[in-house]
């Protein structure tokens, strides 16, 4: 059974997409994703990644969806 996508704040989603599109790292390399997000000015994304390791791992395989309400 497929898991539902992980709901994340829209600003975090935007940062993750920017890192992914940049091609600067494999998205499984969470520490490098954090570094790139910070370098690109996506501080909220970097902070979320620091605080939500498990949710990020789940989202890598289930997908992410932007939640305008900001709930994760």
The 3 state secondary structure assigned to the chain is CCCCCEEEEHHHHHHHHHHHHHCCCCCCCHHHHHHHHHHCCCHHHHHHHHHCHHHHHHHHHHCEEEECCCCC
Query: What is the distance in angstroms between the CA of the first residue and the CA of the last residue of the chain?
Result: 21
Instruction: Report if residue 23 sits inside a domain.
Output: yes
Can you tell me the mean pLDDT for 42-59? 97
Instruction: Report if residue 38 sits inside a domain.
Output: yes
Does this model's pTM top 0.75? My answer is yes
Can you tell me the mean pLDDT for 34-46? 98
Q: What is the mean pLDDT of the chain?
A: 93
Instruction: Report if residue 69 sits inside a domain.
Output: no
User: Residue 56 belongs to what domain range?
Assistant: 9-61
Instruction: Report if residue 67 sits inside a domain.
Output: no
Instruction: Report if residue 29 sits inside a domain.
Output: yes
Domain count across the chain: 1
- For residue 72, give every residue at least 6 positions away whose Cβ sits within 8 Å of its Cβ, in sequence order, or none: 6, 7, 8, 9, 12, 48, 52, 55
Q: How high is the pLDDT of residue 59?
A: 96
Instruction: Report if residue 3 sits inside a domain.
Output: no
| pLDDT at residue 72 is higher than 60 | no
Instruction: Report if residue 30 sits inside a domain.
Output: yes
């Amino acid at each position: 059974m497929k898991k539902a996508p992980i709901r994340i704040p829209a600003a975090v989603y935007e940062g993750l997409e920017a890192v992914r599109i940049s091609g600067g790292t494999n998205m499984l390399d969470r520490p490098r994703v954090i570094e790139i997000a910070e370098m690109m000015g996506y501080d909220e994304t970097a902070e979320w990644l620091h605080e939500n390791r498990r949710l990020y791992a789940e989202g890598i395989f289930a997908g992410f969806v932007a939640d305008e309400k900001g709930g994760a």
